[in-house]
Amino acid sequence: MKNIALYAGSFDPITNGHMDVIRQSLSIADEVVVAVGVHPGKIPMFTFEERAALIFKASKAEFKSKARNIKVISFDDLVVKTAKREKANMLVRGIRDSTDFDYEMSMAGMNSEMAPKLQTVFLPASAGVRHITGTLVRQIAKMKGDVTSFVPQIVAEALKEKI
């Protein structure tokens, strides 16, 4: 059986923290599906197409040939429904701290009720990326701050162009 991991989030923009979770996911799964949440009520900084392109370019630069094992999709429904469509057998979630853990445990419980065969796997953030959030990256970028240590180079360039 092929192990397919689904990693869902907004990825607006993809950060070094997200890349850390993808790197770890590639070590436990044959394929990683990066599911970009697209919700009509939210206005993201980057469109889905822009986010997908940034994820692909950053992954190719960082993971080289392993990037072929990464698929990027959009979704606007329940993550368990998306996982089923993609034939994923695990959901991967990055954990930065105890606040993330508490929230993600609740989500894992709910997801387990809706999709008992879908395993949630928690991946601890590496020490160097625990403090990074997409929200903080966007705020720093909007204030013309330097985000190069928080995001892949291609993303830092895209943020400069966007702002």
β-pairing, 31-37 vs 4-9, is parallel
Dihedral over Cα of 147, 14, 25, 120: its sign: positive
CATH number reported for the structural domain that contains residue 60 in this entry: 3.40.50.620
Instruction: Give the long-range contacts of residues 106-115, CB within 8 A, separation 24 or more.
Output: 111/79, 111/80, 114/78, 114/80, 115/80, 115/83, 115/84
3-state secondary structure of 44: coil
Q: Which domain holds residue 43?
A: 4-162
Residue by residue, pLDDT tens for the chain (163 residues) are 899 999 999 999 999 999 999 999 999 999 999 999 998 888 999 999 999 999 999 999 999 999 999 999 999 999 999 999 999 999 999 999 999 999 999 999 999 999 999 999 999 999 999 999 999 999 999 999 999 999 999 999 999 999 8
Residue with tokens 């368990």: 80
- Specify the number of domains making up the chain: 1
Which positions ≥6 away from 63 have C-beta within 8 Å?
A: 22, 23, 26, 70
